[in-house]
Amino acid sequence: MKLSKIREAFNNCQQVTFDQTESGQLFLNVENQWAKAQVYLQGAHITSYQPVSGDECLWLSDCAVYEKDKAIRGGIPICWPWFGPNVSNPLLPQHGFARTAEFDLLKIDELSNKTILSFYIASNEKTLNLWPTDFKLTVKIEIGAELCVTLETQIFGEKPVSFSQAIHSYFLVGDISETSISGLEPSQYHNKLTDCLVEQLEPLKFTAETDSIYLNPSNHLTLVEGSKPILIVEQSGADSTVVWNPWEDKSKEMIDFPNQGYQKMVCIEAANTRQQQLVPGQVFWLSQKIIPVTSPLFETKDKS
Q: Which residues are catalytic?
A: 168, 269
Where would I find the H helices in the chain?
A: 3-9, 125-130, 247-253, 296-301
Q: How far apart are CA 277 and CA 29, in angstroms?
A: 36
Per-residue x/- track, 94-133, ligand BG6 (CB under 6 A): xx--------------------------------------
Q: Is 191 in the site for ligand BG6 (CB under 6 A)?
A: no
Q: How far apart are CA 224 and CA 171, in angstroms?
A: 11
* In the complex, minimum distance from the CB of residue 244 to ligand BG6, in angstroms, rounded to a whole number: 4
Q: How far apart are CA 22 and CA 200, in angstroms?
A: 45
Q: Which is nearer to ligand BG6, 58 or 155 (CB)?
A: 58
Integer distance in angstroms from the first to the last C-alpha of the chain? 45
Q: Which is nearer to ligand BG6, 181 or 242 (CB)?
A: 242
List Cβ<8 Å contacts ≥24 apart for 16-22: 16/108, 16/110, 16/115, 16/117, 21/66
Among 45, 114, 140, 168, binds ligand BG6 (CB under 6 A): 168
* In the complex, minimum distance from the CB of residue 240 to ligand BG6, in angstroms, rounded to a whole number: 10
Per-residue x/- track, 69-98, ligand BG6 (CB under 6 A): ---------------x---------xx---
* In the complex, minimum distance from the CB of residue 140 to ligand BG6, in angstroms, rounded to a whole number: 22
Phi, then psi, of 44 in degrees rounded to 5 = 45, 50
SS3 78: strand
Among 58, 224, 242, 268, binds ligand BG6 (CB under 6 A): 242
Q: Is 45 in the site for ligand BG6 (CB under 6 A)?
A: no
Closest by CA position to 36, among listed 52, 47, 20, 21: 52
CB 59 within 8 A of CB 290: no
CB 300 within 8 A of CB 291: no
Subset of 192-221 contacting ligand BG6 (CB under 6 A): 192, 211
* In the complex, minimum distance from the CB of residue 92 to ligand BG6, in angstroms, rounded to a whole number: 12
Q: Is 244 in the site for ligand BG6 (CB under 6 A)?
A: yes
* In the complex, minimum distance from the CB of residue 294 to ligand BG6, in angstroms, rounded to a whole number: 28
CA atoms within 13 A on the CB side of 292: 22
Per-residue x/- track, 252-281, ligand BG6 (CB under 6 A): -----------------x------------
Which stretches of the chain bind ligand BG6, using CB under 6 A?
84, 94-95, 168, 192, 211, 242, 244, 269
